[in-house]
């Protein structure tokens, strides 16, 4: 096994994967990646299953160092600067860290969460089929808590596969689409109109349990207590102060505030990436539209491998690369790193 050392990391960074749905009836929240498309894209770049465990990196900077061998990685999600020993790494590409090399990531610029996938995944002991961190329930592997400086992830040595980029559809800077319900009848038509017509900001006190919104006060018709019922990712509950909270993957499985609306599943990852302080609006859609979008999103996830491309800047080396593969030699990690040096020298 090789290691990826967490040389430095900020808060709100943890190992996440597709989560552990299936036990919400016992009060166990599913957790999992905030932005599933970005997780799947990063994993696809290094040949992993789309929802394999990866490092979810919050808005702050981070750095990771390969130990014992080269380690192949990929980065997707929030845009931020990424640098390997002076070589720039682009978002939505794979790259290989030679043994001892460090990947340095800057603060998130567009978005909040980046996903660092590692070829072969992260070694750990799955609980309920998942390595995802849920600190409150004591779940998550290799660490049942957010990552800290000095943590070590057991990973596979780089295979030497050619580096790729992935062409993702542009994410529109459009309103976040919602379906009203399940408790929209606890609000007047005026309150619902105010909810749709207003600009909202994500509060800095938001976390993986919920995003608190700042904007006009949304008043209830009959008070803010309902008998607790089940929640989903994207449930928009309105507590007594009238400032909505959008429930995220570490949410409580039940909640006692009326839920005015729900973010549609296709927009959930895009919503999760809205950074604190940034303004956005909601837009209501019909069930038919929401479910059509959900099907399109599932199809996008399914066809991610079709969107892989060789890194253009490596075009000149493609012959050598394919020759190495055809000849049955695994391209070794030192070579992979060398190509990148050559590439940055010529570009």
Binding site for other proteins (CB under 8 A): 21-28, 127-128, 136-139, 179-183, 226-235, 252-254, 259, 262-266, 287, 290-291, 293-295, 298
Nearer to other proteins, 175 or 252 (CB): 252
DSSP per residue, 187-251: S-HHHHHHHHHS-EEE-TT--SSEEEEESS----SS-S----EE--TTEEE--TTS--EEE-TT-
Whether the link from the prior residue into 183 is cis, omega within 30° of 0, is no
Nearer to other proteins, 174 or 287 (CB): 287
State the minimum distance, in angstroms, from the CB of residue 161 to other proteins: 31
State the minimum distance, in angstroms, from the CB of residue 340 to other proteins: 39
The C-alpha atoms of residue 217 and residue 219 are separated, in whole angstroms, by 6
Nearer to other proteins, 15 or 290 (CB): 290
State the minimum distance, in angstroms, from the CB of residue 29 to other proteins: 8
Nearer to other proteins, 28 or 85 (CB): 28
Nearer to other proteins, 243 or 253 (CB): 253
The C-alpha atoms of residue 230 and residue 252 are separated, in whole angstroms, by 9
Tokens of 72: 């192949």
State the minimum distance, in angstroms, from the CB of residue 89 to other proteins: 34
Nearer to other proteins, 115 or 180 (CB): 180
Tokens of 159: 């295979």
Nearer to other proteins, 10 or 21 (CB): 21
The C-alpha atoms of residue 254 and residue 227 are separated, in whole angstroms, by 10
The C-alpha atoms of residue 199 and residue 88 are separated, in whole angstroms, by 36
Half-sphere exposure of 155 (CA within 13 A, CB side): 37
Backbone angles phi, psi at 142, to 5 degrees: -75, -10
- Beta-bridge partners for 251: none
Nearer to other proteins, 159 or 235 (CB): 235
The C-alpha atoms of residue 70 and residue 73 are separated, in whole angstroms, by 10
Asked if residue 244 lies in contact with residue 234, where contact means CB atoms within 8 angstroms, the answer is no
Backbone angles phi, psi at 305, to 5 degrees: -60, -30
Using DSSP, state whether 73 is helix, strand or coil.
strand
Tokens of 272: 């999760």
**Helices 265-272 and 287-302, packing angle to 10 deg:** 70
């Amino acid at each position: 096994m090789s290691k990826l050392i967490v040389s430095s990391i900020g808060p709100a960074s943890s190992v996440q994967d597709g989560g552990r749905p299936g036990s919400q009836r016992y009060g166990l929240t599913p957790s999992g990646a905030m932005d599933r498309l970005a997780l799947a894209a990063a994993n696809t770049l290094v040949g992993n299953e789309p929802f394999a465990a990866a490092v979810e990196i919050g808005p702050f900077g981070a750095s990771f160092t390969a130990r014992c061998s080269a380690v192949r990685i990929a980065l997707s999600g929030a845009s931020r600067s990424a640098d390997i020993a002076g070589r720039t790494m682009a978002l939505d590409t794979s790259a290989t860290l030679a043994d001892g090399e460090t990947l340095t990531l800057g603060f998130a610029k567009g978005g909040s969460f980046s996903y660092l996938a590692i070829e072969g995944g992260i070694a750990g002991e799955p609980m309920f089929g998942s390595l995802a961190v849920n600190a409150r329930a004591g779940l998550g592997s290799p660490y049942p808590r957010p990552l800290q400086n000095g943590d070590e992830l057991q990973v596979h040595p780089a295979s030497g596969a050619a580096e790729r980029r992935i062409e993702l559809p542009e994410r529109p800077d459009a309103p976040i689409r919602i379906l009203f319900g399940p408790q929209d009848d606890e609000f007047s038509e005026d309150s619902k109109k105010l909810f749709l017509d207003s600009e909202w900001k994500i509060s800095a006190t938001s976390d993986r349990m919920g995003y608190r919104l700042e904007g006009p006060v949304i008043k209830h018709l009959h008070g803010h207590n309902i008998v607790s019922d089940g929640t989903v990712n994207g449930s928009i509950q309105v507590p007594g102060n009238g400032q909505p909270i959008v429930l995220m993957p570490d949410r409580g499985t039940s909640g006692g505030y009326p839920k005015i609306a729900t973010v549609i599943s296709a927009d959930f990852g895009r919503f999760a990436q809205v950074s604190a302080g940034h303004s956005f609006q909601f837009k209501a859609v019909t069930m038919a539209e929401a479910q059509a979008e959900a099907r399109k999103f599932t199809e996008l996830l399914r066809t991610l491998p079709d969107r892989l491309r060789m890194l253009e800047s490596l075009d000149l080396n493609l012959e050598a690369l394919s020759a190495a593969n055809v000849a049955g030699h695994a391209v070794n990690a030192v070579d992979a790193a060398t190509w990148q040096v050559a590439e940055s020298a010529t570009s």
